[in-house]
Amino acid sequence: MKVSEFRKYFPPRKKNSHKGCFGKIFILSGSRGFSGAPYLTSMGALRAGVGLITLGVPQGLYAVLTLKLAEVMTKPFPETADGSLSRKAFDGIKNSLKGQDVLALGPGLSQNAETQDLIRKAVLSFEKPMVIDADGLNAFQGKKELLRKIKNLSILTPHPGEAARLFGTSVPGDLAGRRKFARAAAKTCRCIFVLKGAGTVVASPGGEIYVNDTGNPGLATGGSGDLLTGIIAAFLGQGLGPFDAARCGVFIHGFAADLAVKEFGEISLAPRDVLSYLPFAFRKILGR
């Protein structure tokens, strides 16, 4: 993607704009020991320009995330003995989704069986676009046919390990093989499929392919994908179509990393560093 192409999706905001103009997203993330995931996902969405963010977490994480995320509305839900979301959370989550434009879920939710059941139920009941990552995808391991029942064109964002678990097969390491895998996965699941890695591949069910050329090895660390989930969800909330939201998301995520790596280097680069450079990435591209 060229900078000029990215720019066309983000025209100057009207002077009478308000928060309702830029989308409302609901994020479902986190479990005991994984409080960083909801933080990074939420802040990624905030820095990518979404209007309103509501974060749903297990009740044990509520206090700490309320303090860390001053700009995000945080909601606590019933949790399992493991500190992950319980089945009992479903009715509250369903009510919270009313009026939301986008659901982003998966980062840090855990592979607790009860939580995974809740994830499947939430995904199959929401009727608007979603970004499904990490444990949101793990919940469909051995059940990928259920993804075809999703009611709106949504975005799956696996790294190769998650993709391998979802499809029960290895993921090719070469670009030609990754392109072929992503295209087939998008068609099978009827989704936008984002196969992360060096040269992230974005594929649509209709056969469209985009291979991203921004980013660097400094992104190969835990939390980078959580940040990307929030960015893509924010773009969906602002009205971009799923394919464009996905490719613009991976582009700006990598672009910010390429700016940040000049200060921190590949070895020391952390997702928070990429997050801190997102505003500079937007300003460099958009000129404002």
Express each pLDDT in 21-50 by its tens digit: 999 999 999 999 999 999 999 999 999 999
Walk across the sheet containing 102-105 and list its strands. Answer: 73-77, 52-58, 24-28, 102-105, 130-132, 155-156, 192-195, 201-203, 209-211
Partners of 104 in the beta sheet? 27, 131
- The predicted pLDDT at position 90 comes to 98
Dist CA 282 CA 156 (whole Å): 24
Partners of 76 in the beta sheet? 57
Is 244 within the bounds of a domain?
Answer: yes
- DSSP assignment letter at 148: G
Dist CA 255 CA 237 (whole Å): 21
Is 2 within the bounds of a domain?
Answer: no
Instruction: Tell me the pTM.
Output: 0.98
- Given the DSSP bridges, would you call strands 201-203 and 192-195 parallel, antiparallel or unpaired? antiparallel
Is 224 within the bounds of a domain?
Answer: yes
The CATH number assigned to the domain holding 55 equals 3.40.1190.20
The whole-angstrom distance between residue 126's C-alpha and the CA centroid of its chain comes to 16
Count how many domains the chain has: 1
Q: Could you list the residue range(s) of the whole structural domain that residue 219 is in?
A: 22-143+150-286
Partners of 131 in the beta sheet? 104, 155
CB 71 within 8 A of CB 46: yes
Mark the ranges of the chain whose per-residue pLDDT is less than 50.
Answer: none
Is 165 within the bounds of a domain?
Answer: yes
The whole-angstrom distance between residue 266's C-alpha and the CA centroid of its chain comes to 23
Dist CA 199 CA 189 (whole Å): 22
Is 266 within the bounds of a domain?
Answer: yes
Is 87 within the bounds of a domain?
Answer: yes
Is 82 within the bounds of a domain?
Answer: yes
Give the 3-state secondary structure of residue 53: strand
Q: What percent of the chain has pLDDT over 70?
A: 100
Is 1 within the bounds of a domain?
Answer: no
